[in-house]
Amino acid sequence: MGVLMSRRQTVERVQKVSLAVSAFKDGLREQPSTRRRAEAGTARQGTLEQEVQEGEEEALAGPSQPEESSASKAAWERLRDGRGVEPEEFDRANRFTPPAFIRPKRELHDDEPPDISLEQREQIVNDEMCEICEVWTAESLFPCRICHRVYHDGCLRRMGYLQKDSAVEVTETAHTETGWSCYYCDNLNLLLTEEEMYSLMETLKNCKIIPESCLTLDDFLHYKHQVHKQQFERTMPEAKEEQAALQFNALDPDKKGHIEWQDFLSHESIQLLQKIRPQNALLRLLTPKERERARAAFLALDQDNDGFIGEGECRQARHTWFRKHQKEMLSCNVSISHVGPISEGSPASSRNGKSPEKILPATKQEETRSIDWPGFLRENVAYILAARPNSAALHLQPLA
């Protein structure tokens, strides 16, 4: 696994090598040495100067397009390195050093079907110590609803991952059934490999998308039209445009008229994963907590315990259990090993007779088609992954 080196890191490396070359030259002038030492110094000098030249060429190398502003370049670097948005006005005093995000690599066996049993439950165990400071302080730790990590709110602030607006959200939801996703799980873009990330960046650049900017409906539709034309070499049909408009509305739950950059990036990341990776590879991305939630959902829908559910019930799970949940739930004291969020509209709570949305009745064809446990996982895995971010936006709109 390798860490992507940003352009800023490359320039810093070149500067360090340049200082070493200057110091070496000064030493040669001030202290005359023997012929042998001079020859060794000349060889060393040539090596360092060559490294400086290579570093400068690497730092200056870039796509052959109009010169970008420094802010835009920094935004592309953050996107490439998976570091997210880092506003320049952020107070970095007393801040912890952020972790180096390591993008995953595809393994040879990724495309093989994973063994996820329906009957065998998985034990959910969270870490006992804060992921950042590695200190145990029991109830003051905030668990991630997706992975095993736990955090202190103070550590999250010093890392820059907990701003004023999100501090209350974490405090109120981390110990509720809604749950809270840590900064690893909240960023769907970190699921992409280096190759997949470069492919996405190339698409965004070709479509003139400005990183870390908000997109209006016109911007979003224009982008979708360009992507469709580049991929299929024909105009996007009207039905696809209507579907894209529905997706925009799902990404803009507050009806602000635009979608945030992080929501757009998460949507494009999950779309790319669906397009490039087979479903078996996506299933391997699920965490034990997500698999346990999927088991609970399937068992709640399988009323006759025959191991099959109808297609309409599978679609119902897609529209309720694996969708984003509104932050309207009251706080409750639950174990930090809780498997994840449960909404009133989830299959697990369907016996209460309360549902926040009206589910369309299943057609006869849906009622006759049966889906087993592996099929249920394959058809819903993308929606499970898309439900990871804390944002109220629906990053993958289920088809009607």
202 and 271 both lie in a single domain: yes
The pLDDT confidence band at residue 147, using thresholds 50, 70 and 90, is very high
In a domain, residue 124? The reply is: no
Query: From the DSSP assignment, how many helices (H) and strands (E) are in the chain?
Result: 14, 6
Whether residue 142 sits in one domain with residue 164: yes
What is the reported pLDDT for 12?
55
Same domain flag for 176 and 265:
no
Is 226 or 317 the better-scoring residue by pLDDT? 226
State whether 173 and 222 are in the same domain.
no
Q: Which two tokens stand for residue 324?
A: 């984003």
In degrees and rounded to multiples of 5, residue 114 shows phi and psi of -75, 155
Asked which of 171, 186, 201 is the last residue of a domain, the reply is 186
The verdict on 150 and 166 lying in the same domain is yes
Q: What distance in Å separates the CA atoms of residue 4 and residue 107, rounded to the nearest whole number? A: 19
Terminal-residue alpha carbon distance, the chain: 40
Is 283 within the bounds of a domain? yes
Residue 395 vs residue 33, higher pLDDT: 395
Torsion angle defined by CA atoms of residues 44, 50, 54 and 59, in that order, rounded to the nearest 10 degrees: 70
The answer as to whether 213 is a domain residue is yes
Are 179 and 205 contained in the same domain?
no
Measuring CA to CA, which residue among 268, 270, 269, 248 is closest to residue 259? 248
Would residue 337 count as lying in a domain? no
pLDDT digits (tens, 9 = 90+) for 254-289: 999 999 999 999 999 999 999 999 999 999 999 999
Looking at the structure, tell me whether residues 271 and 285 fall in a common domain. no
Are 320 and 383 in a shared domain? yes
Torsion angle of the four alpha carbons 139, 141, 142, 145, in this order, in degrees rounded to the nearest 10: -90
Q: Which structure tokens are listed for 220? A: 């979003």
Q: Kindly indicate the confidence band of residue 349, based on its pLDDT and cuts at 50, 70 and 90.
A: very low
- Looking at 258, 276, 294, the residue that finishes a domain is 276
Can you give the pTM of this predicted structure?
A: 0.70
CATH of the domain at 267: 1.10.238
Asked if residue 375 and residue 290 are part of one domain, the reply reads yes
Q: Which residue has the tokens 């023997």?
A: 34
Domain count, the chain: 3
Cα Rg of the chain, angstroms: 25
With respect to residue 89, please indicate whether it lies within any of the assigned structural domains. Answer: no
Three-class SS state of 142: strand
Return the HEC string of 312-326. Answer: HHHHHHHHCCCCCCC
Nearest to 124 by CA among 138, 98, 143: 143
Rounded to an integer, what distance in angstroms lies between the CA atom of residue 375 and that of residue 116? 12
Contact 252, 259 (CB under 8 A): yes
Query: CA 18 to CA 24: how far, in whole Å?
Result: 10
**SS3 of residue 192 by DSSP:** coil
Q: Which residue type occupies 256? A: K
Using the 3D structure, point to which of 186, 220, 252 is the last residue of a domain: 186
Position 160 scores a pLDDT of 76
Question: For 297-332, what is each residue's pLDDT tens digit?
Answer: 999 999 888 999 998 888 888 877 665 554 433 333
Lowest mean pLDDT among 33-47, 298-312, 369-383: 33-47
Parent domain of 313: 279-324+370-399
User: Is pLDDT larger for residue 139 or for residue 380?
Assistant: 380
Chain mean position to CA 240: 25
Asked whether residue 207 carries a pLDDT value surpassing 80, the answer given is yes
- Residue 272 located in a structural domain: yes
Could you read off the pLDDT of 108-143 as tens digits, one per residue? 888 898 999 998 889 899 998 998 888 887 667 889
Average pLDDT score, the chain = 75
Say how far apart CA 343 and CA 177 lie, in whole Å: 8
* Whether 263 and 163 share a structural domain: no
Domain contains 7: no
- Are 175 and 272 found together in one domain? no
**Residue that is written with structure tokens 């991305």 in the block:** 285
Q: How confident is the model at residue 95 (pLDDT cuts 50, 70, 90)?
A: low
Cβ–Cβ < 8 Å for 191, 103: no
**Cα(175)–Cα(341) distance, integer angstroms:** 10
Instruction: Collapse the DSSP code of 324 into the 3-class scheme (helix H, G, I; strand E, B; otherwise coil) and give the result.
Output: coil
In a domain, 141, yes or no: yes
Residue 371 host element (H or E)? strand 370-372
Crossing angle of helices 7-30 and 35-60, rounded to 10°? 160
pLDDT in tens, 157-201: 887 777 666 667 777 788 787 789 998 899 999 999 999 999 999
What is the C-alpha separation between 260 and 262, in angstroms, rounded?
A: 6
Q: Are 141 and 161 in contact (CB under 8 A)?
A: no
CA 197 to centroid of chain Cα atoms: 11
- Residues 230 and 252 reside in one and the same domain: yes
Cβ atoms 332, 176 nearer than 8 A: yes
> Which 3 state secondary structure label does DSSP give 79?
helix
Q: Quick check: 336 pLDDT over 50?
A: no
